[in-house]
Amino acid sequence: MILIVDSGSTKSDWMAVDKNGNQLLEKIRTNGLNPAILSEKKLRKIIKGSKALKQHKKEVTHVFFYGAGCGTDKPRELLKGILEEFFENAEISVDEDTMAAVFSTINSPTEAAVVCILGTGSNCSYFDGEKLHQRVKSLGWSLMDDASGNYFGKQLIRDYYFNKMPETIRVAMADKYNLEADYIKYNIYKQPNPNAFLASFAEFMFLNKDSEYIQNLIKQGVRLFATNMILQYKEELKTVPVHFAGSIAYFAKDEIMQVAKELDFTVGNFIRRPIEGLAKFHTENIEE
């Protein structure tokens, strides 16, 4: 049994397939496993808390894990060690979530492209057909992550408190969420995963996309992301497309296309959940 894992800060999707890529189990979902944010104790608790993973762990021969927070050595090795301990019969590979986005969006294994992630967090890299290149080192959700779920959640809350949204939108948001100041501050400053808490508000945008305010909010965030991240690859953009992965990108496709036209880059593929394309990639390239 081969496990393909696509993990963000909010949730982790686990897909079990055989060597031919046939799905063996219903998709397993756990909380997000971001080793740059969560403690070793919390990571272990999440993995051990899954009945499905516990039931089948001895059958697993390979784990290909792609996750937020796995782009640097220390958190990556921490998570790899935990997975090796739990899946005692398996070979473990842990890589950053960007590579999941690359393998699931490119049209061929050696296609060069700029690949963006817009989910709970955001990122942008250039894949030259063999290696990944990043021109901006991420400083995490509080300083970067433009156009991500947590970025839009923060902007919505700010606009609500600064009275910068239409009254109808303001009322609708207050009906859907607990917007009491103490509740918001508690979740941001006292609870784990404040980025995921902020990202939980982003759904509101896509439920109200007929609002000009919402459309402009999305375009403003996408434009900021494009100028800060995508345009780092100005030379590459002359010859390669820009692919997008993640739920925010998927639902903001129209706004992304508009910004791409403004800034003159070519948009390629959109995929909401990279995990679907990873099973095919790994079963075709696995080393026996």
Specify the CATH class of 2-101+274-285 in words: alpha beta
Report whether 148 contacts 9 (CB < 8 A). Answer: no
What contacts 191, CB < 8 A, 6 or more positions away? 197
Q: Tell me, what's the pLDDT at 217?
A: 98
Structure tokens that stand for 166 in this block: 């239409």
| pLDDT at 216 (0 to 100) | 97
Per-residue pLDDT reduced to its tens digit, 18-59: 988 899 999 899 999 999 989 999 999 999 999 999 999 999
Residues 79-124: tens digit of each pLDDT:
999 999 999 999 999 998 888 889 889 988 899 999 999 998 899 9
What's the burial of 210, exposed, middle or buried (CB within 10 Å: 0-12/13-18/19+)? exposed
pLDDT-derived band at 8, boundaries 50, 70, 90: confident
**For residue 136, which amino acid is it?**
V
- Residue 28 is predicted with a pLDDT of 94
Closest CA to 33 of 106, 115, 97, 89: 97
Residue 36: CB partners within 8 Å, gap ≥ 6? Answer: 68, 69, 70, 72, 75, 140
Per-residue pLDDT, averaged over 65-77, amounts to 91
Q: Does position 138 have pLDDT exceeding 90, yes or no? A: no
Average pLDDT of the segment spanning 259-267: 97
Radius of gyration of the chain (CA): 19
For the stretch 180-195, pLDDT in tens is 999 999 999 999 889 9
Share of the chain above pLDDT 70, in %: 99
pLDDT at 288 over 60: no
Q: Which has more pLDDT, 285 or 54?
A: 54
Q: Could you tell me the pTM of the whole model?
A: 0.80
Q: What is the mean pLDDT of residues 160-173?
A: 97
What is the mean pLDDT of the segment spanning 160-176? 97
